[in-house]
Structure 1
Amino acid sequence: MNKIAYSAFIAFLASIGTLVSVQALSSDEADSAGDERDITLDELAEHASAESCWKAIHGGVYDITDYVPDHPTEEEVILEWCGRESSEAWDNKSPGRPHSPAAERQLENYRIGRLVDDQGEPLESADTGELPSEEQDQPMEQEAAAAAPSPAEDQRLHRAMLGQPLDGHYRGVFTDRGEIQVNITFDLRDGHLSDVNFRHLAYRGVDYLTLEEDADLYPVMVQHRRITEWLEGEPLTSIFALYEPERVVDEVDGFSGATLRGAKVISAMRDGLNRGVYSWP
């Protein structure tokens, strides 16, 4: 009889311990959820470097600073989205292909808050408006599949199979010794260039895009701007003329064509082509 009473007593203690543990876990989860704070786009923008990289993805904000060195692609690819609403990049690891469920689970380890507007209202994206819920619930994949052209009609497929660059928006970089020197964007339409712009242009610690007109090296920035103007409307093959940049840009205020470093611009543009279309027209 004593053995039965003792066993019942032990079982009772075990059940009490289980209830306490469950309650503690629930409390921890609640505390963790309560720790999540509201983060505005302005605060997000303050964390746009390798030293502090925050990204907003579908309403959540993530501090991925510690993960940046472990990202499988070049560091500049992920740094490009630091301090920004990055759902577009997350949903298009390659055109039309999002990150995997495993990546989504890993991402949650870095969550620090939710994205809100200046009034504290949640933001799903950087856009000011959201689709009504009934439109969000539509089977978009089926609609896209129905609207897609057949292989016999898809001009993008034909160009790819023939080894021709696809029409679209491209981004590329040239990096030397860990420093991004050239980051350039451009569009291709029927093999011709348009909307050619520098997103970053630097050399030996000098950011040319931020120079004032009275700065000694400002003419170098002007020369590079003239490169983008010269490329507008030109066929893609015209980039190889930049190997002799003095043929493209006249001397500016005593600075010779040698300051143009046209080969770096070519390398950045070819990097963009190698990465593939960044976004479709």
Structure 2
Amino acid sequence: MSMNKIAYSMFIAFVASLGTLVSIQALSSSERDAADDDALDPITPEALAEHDGAESCWKAIDGRVYDITDYLPHHPTPEAVILEWCGKEASEAWHNKRPGVPHSPRAEGMLESYLIGRLVDEAGEPVEPEAAARIDESTDEAGNGEAADATARLSPAEDERLHRALLGLPLDGRYRGVFGDGGEMQVNVQFDLRDGVLSNVSYRHLAYRGVDYRALDEEDDLYPVWVQHQRLAEGLEGQPLTAIFALHEPERLAEDIDGYSGATLRGNKVHSAFRDALNRGVYSWP
């Protein structure tokens, strides 16, 4: 037998083996999808929220709860990115790794190995993922998806998003970004951008050396730092996007109170979180 025939035979055998593996995987996936979720341990949102850090990270995706603590060191992005979703309903993040781009089938297979339960309310009823509500909002009352299709049918001459992207301009939408150091997420900002103007600026996370500033009471010594950071956010409301560079001189946006210096504001970290958000792109569309 010639070498060409041997090589061809080996190739055919490889393709056949690959097809068999794919078929087995498809059958396994179908059986997993058809499995009765009632057999899974019920987990309430309150219980889920208790596992919100690197020491124990649970996420809810499409009504199921996953303990991904052991996977955190192996995740390809900075740890702060995935820590943002610990203890939360994370369906939207899972199905939008980037806007409109879900995680891969390989990632889905890996995720199933971390399955620990199902998300239920206090009455034991399944909790619908937030992603389902957002999908519903994209359709009209008849449920035929005409609103979403209208955007898809825009020509290149009409698509404003395409124009802005080609010109290198930030798109309108909601953004989220983080700043982390030493594996610890310190700042997580969220803001809306429309026609280059900032609005709805807020902190989803603000912490330093184990202190959660958002959870402080007025009597706490560090509470003024939280107030200052709020003033930074308020100072950016209604301002052009370029105003984020003022965060390098935070005293321009927030007054010093109770003897706390402008350095305590850590404006550079907030600025880095804004830049991270812009680098990631739109988190959700208006």
* Matching of residue 267 in structure 1 with residue 272 in structure 2: yes
Aligned to 1:246: 251
Note the C-alpha offset of 1:33.
8.0
Return the TM-score normalized by structure 2: 0.77
Q: State the superposition RMSD in angstroms.
A: 2.7
User: After TM superposition, which residue ranges in structure 1, 4 or more long, deviate above 3 angstroms?
Assistant: 31-35, 126-131, 142-147
Aligned to 1:13: none
SS where residue 181 of structure 1 aligns? strand
Note the C-alpha offset of 1:62.
1.4
Q: Which runs of 5+ in 1 are unaligned?
A: 1-28
Aligned to 2:169: 164
Counterpart CA distance in 2 for 1:168 and 1:259 is 30
- Per-residue CA deviations over 1:85-140 (Å, capped at 9, x if unaligned) read 21111111111111122221221111122222222222342589897xxx9xx886
Note the C-alpha offset of 1:238.
0.9
**Following superposition of structure 1 onto structure 2, how do residues 117-266 of structure 1 map, counting pairs within 5 Å?**
117-126=121-130, 144-145=148-149, 147-148=151-152, 149-266=154-271
Contact between 2:191 and 2:198, CA under 8 Å: does it hold in 1? yes
Residue from 79, 83, 95 that aligns with 2:83: 79
Note the C-alpha offset of 1:32.
11
- Equivalent pairs, count: 246
Q: Which runs of 5+ in 2 are unaligned?
A: 1-31
Note the C-alpha offset of 1:189.
0.8
Instruction: Determine which structure has more spread, i.e. the larger CA radius of gyration.
Output: 1
Note the C-alpha offset of 1:255.
2.1
Note the C-alpha offset of 1:240.
1.0
SS where residue 246 of structure 2 aligns? helix
Letter in 2 for 1:103: A
Of residues 241-250 and 230-239 in structure 1, the stretch that sits farther from structure 2 once superposed is 241-250
- Per-residue CA deviations over 1:159-178 (Å, capped at 9, x if unaligned) read 11111111111111112222
Counterpart CA distance in 1 for 2:147 and 2:198 is 31
Structure 1 pair 124–33 and aligned structure 2 pair: CA distance change class (3 A): closer
Of residues 245-254 and 187-196 in structure 1, the stretch that sits farther from structure 2 once superposed is 245-254
Structure 1 pair 65–184 and aligned structure 2 pair: CA distance change class (3 A): same
Counterpart CA distance in 2 for 1:175 and 1:77 is 9
Counterpart CA distance in 1 for 2:129 and 2:37 is 21
Of residues 83-92 and 249-258 in structure 1, the stretch that sits farther from structure 2 once superposed is 249-258
